[in-house]
């Protein structure tokens, strides 16, 4: 039996016991997904023996790539001491101290188990603190799988309504109507329209949820004037400004919020702070974080979790973030700038109508000459999605390069100019090969 036949056999077995054959749709491929064998540094080897450069890094979670030796050593040592206990651990205190020292707006921290859980808990904390029920979020923004956070994540021209008053569109079939009624949708980076929409719900909004570089919206940074306008509105109207930095903490040493003159009240974290293990956290102002405090006579938000602050995750995350210091952030961002520069040069040489957006150590390519400025600019119809998938398959199968399914890359500290050249040379070949299709799509 060939290794390829073995992969197919595994998937046939998976189809019998796992719905769809996969536990997360992001790894699904037709006719069947590949199965990892080993991973080290910035390369993954599948069970067929194919080695691919990894620019997805488990959906932006691996800031130091795979099998980073300091994390492996730290986790191995902790495994000997135990994996979980119904006791607190000293390492969670050390890790929380690091995060509080690292980000100016962090006064207290609470650990959870995923980015979805962090956002969910942050929304619940906002409601507990303000006594209000509605939240506001950007159209198209991804914030995990909590019912309220996923409203209008997949809005499309048939249901998104007028830009001055976007419709709150549930993502999952069967979502209770009350969920959409409690979520106010605003157009990212548009000050005038956003403030007008928020004003229509003055006195009802617990928090305005902001991803400072929203991936699904288009991976374009929030404008400073926009963030400040939202901050001024929430201060006047008794709401909270809450940031989703599950992905964007990597942008600067202190997260993407370091780019702004105002601070969020709460921030949701995940991905890179786990060092390759499942993780989430909520951090923010002590006054708001008090809703979790068991010392409070009137405890507003009882909170626990069997694996919250799991010592394996804590030591892995602490080690990862210690090694992602000021110098490492600066070096990785500079390498990413170089990659974006080379991609733009490849676009120019291939003479294709494409563009690149991003921030820090992440970027996204778009099937249009001018970088999109809104979710509605970014949105792809079925033809666009098909073309994007073909480009991704080309890079995966022909160039042995793994990317995120939005045609995005999230870099890791173990990458070098060698991997950047491999990526950009492969992209240039892809642009040339797909030039007729890209040009045709832009004329539609």
Task: Give the long-range contacts of residues 296-300, CB within 8 A, separation 24 or more.
Answer: 300/128, 300/129
What are the strands, taking DSSP E only, across 255-353?
A: 266-270, 280-284
For a pLDDT cut of 70, what percent of the chain falls above it?
A: 99
Rounded to an integer, what is the distance from CA 359 to the centroid of its chain? 13
pLDDT digits (tens, 9 = 90+) for 203-236: 999 999 999 999 999 999 999 999 999 999 999 9
- Which helix (H) or strand (E) covers residue 73, if one does? helix 69-81
The pLDDT-based confidence of 444 (bands split at 50, 70, 90) is confident
pLDDT digits (tens, 9 = 90+) for 87-105: 999 999 999 999 999 999 9
DSSP letter for each residue of 387-427 = HHHHHHHHHHHTS-EE-BTTTEEE--TT--HHHHHHHHHHH
Average pLDDT over residues 305-315: 97
Residue 1's pLDDT is what? 46
pLDDT digits (tens, 9 = 90+) for 149-169: 999 999 999 999 999 999 999
Residue 30 pLDDT more than 90?
no
- Predicted TM-score of the model (pTM): 0.96
Q: 438: left (phi > 0), else alpha (psi -120 to 50), else beta?
A: alpha
Residue 2 pLDDT more than 60?
no
Residue 4's pLDDT is what? 55
Mean residue pLDDT across the chain: 97
Residue ranges of domains in the chain, CATH in brackets: 34-63+325-443 (3.90.1150.10), 69-323 (3.40.640.10)
Residue 29's pLDDT is what? 87
pLDDT digits (tens, 9 = 90+) for 231-250: 999 999 999 999 999 999 99
For a pLDDT cut of 90, what percent of the chain falls above it?
A: 95
Residue (of 238, 217, 427, 413) closest to 327 by Cα position: 413
């Amino acid at each position: 039996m060939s290794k390829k036949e073995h992969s197919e056999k595994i998937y046939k077995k998976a189809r019998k016991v796992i719905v769809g054959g996969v536990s997360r749709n992001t790894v699904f491929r037709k006719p069947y997904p590949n199965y990892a064998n080993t991973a080290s540094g910035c390369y993954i080897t599948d069970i067929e023996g194919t080695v691919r450069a990894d620019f997805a890094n488990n959906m932006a979670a691996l800031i130091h790539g795979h099998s980073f030796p300091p994390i492996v050593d730290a986790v191995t040592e902790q495994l000997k001491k135990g994996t979980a206990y119904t006791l607190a651990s000293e390492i969670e205190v050390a890790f929380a101290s690091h995060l509080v020292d690292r980000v100016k707006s962090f006064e207290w921290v609470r650990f959870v188990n995923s980015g979805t859980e962090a956002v969910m808990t942050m929304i619940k904390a906002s409601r507990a603190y303000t006594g209000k029920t509605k939240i506001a979020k950007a159209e198209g923004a991804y914030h995990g799988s909590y019912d309220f956070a996923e409203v209008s994540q997949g809005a499309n021209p048939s249901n998104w309504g007028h830009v001055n008053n976007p419709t709150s569109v549930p993502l999952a079939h069967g979502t209770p109507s009350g969920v959409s009624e409690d979520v106010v949708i605003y157009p990212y980076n548009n000050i005038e329209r956003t403030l007008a929409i928020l004003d229509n719900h003055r006195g009802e909004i617990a928090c305005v949820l902001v991803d400072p570089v929203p991936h699904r919206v288009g991976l374009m940074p929030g404008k400073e004037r926009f963030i400040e306008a939202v901050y001024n509105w929430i201060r006047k109207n008794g709401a909270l400004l809450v940031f989703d930095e599950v992905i964007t903490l990597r942008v600067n040493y202190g997260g993407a919020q370091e780019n702004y003159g105002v601070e969020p009240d709460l921030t949701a974290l995940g991905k890179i702070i786990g060092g390759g293990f499942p993780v989430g956290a909520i951090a923010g102002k002590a006054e708001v974080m008090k809703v979790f405090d068991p010392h409070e006579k009137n405890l507003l938000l009882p909170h626990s979790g069997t694996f919250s602050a799991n010592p394996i995750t804590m030591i892995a995350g602490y080690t990862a973030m210690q090694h992602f210091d000021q110098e490492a952030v600066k070096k990785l961002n500079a390498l990413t700038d170089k990659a974006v520069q080379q991609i733009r040069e490849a676009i120019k040489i291939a003479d294709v109508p494409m563009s690149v957006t991003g921030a820090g150590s992440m970027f996204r390519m778009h099937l249009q000459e001018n970088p999109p400025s809104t979710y509605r600019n970014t949105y792809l119809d079925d033809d666009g999605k098909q073309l994007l998938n073909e480009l991704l398959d080309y890079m995966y199968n022909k160039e042995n390069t793994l990317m995120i399914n939005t045609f995005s890359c999230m870099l890791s500290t173990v990458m070098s100019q060698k991997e950047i050249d491999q990526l950009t040379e492969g992209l240039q070949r892809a642009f040339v090969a797909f030039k007729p299709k890209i040009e045709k799509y832009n004329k539609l």
